[in-house]
Amino acid sequence: MALEAWALVFFKAAWYASEMGQYNIAKEMGASALEAREATLGEEHPDTLTSVSHLGLVLERQGKYEEAEAMHRRDLKGSEKVLGPEHLNTLTSVSYLGLVLLRQGKYKEAELMHC
């Protein structure tokens, strides 16, 4: 339980750091939150997937589009499996993936995500 509580602290700290534009700190804290959530909740738990998504957003803001794409694809795959294709979190995952594809110039793939 203590590790799960720390995961939440790391997640919130990462979110705050990213809002303040401190992306290196956000990446470190986000990775720690993800690691702790994977260990305590499992790879497909909705909270773990939220950490995956947030880390993808941080990576995107750092311009690390390929890494961000991988995180968003992981989030989408897990969200579709656990929550279903019509769940709000899944649809948000689709949008995030579409945006990172757009930033990479993968216009056809991005368009498929946004249709």
What is the domain-level CATH number for residue 50? 1.25.40.10
- Of residues 37 and 115, more confidently modeled: 37
DSSP state of 45: S
Query: What is the tens place of the pLDDT at every residue in 63-115?
Result: 999 999 999 999 999 999 999 999 999 999 999 999 999 999 999 999 999 87
pLDDT of residue 101: 98
Per-residue pLDDT averaged across 54-62, rounded? 97
Is the pLDDT at 28 greater than 90? The verdict is yes
Please tell me the distance from the alpha carbon of residue 60 to that of residue 99, in angstroms, as a whole number.
9
User: Structural domain tally of the chain?
Assistant: 1
pTM for the full predicted model: 0.92
pLDDT of residue 12: 95
pLDDT of residue 74: 98
Tokens standing for residue 32? 């720690």
Per-residue pLDDT averaged across 30-49, rounded? 96
Q: Is 97 helix (H, G, I), strand (E, B) or coil?
A: helix
pLDDT of residue 1: 81
Q: Which domain holds residue 45?
A: 2-113
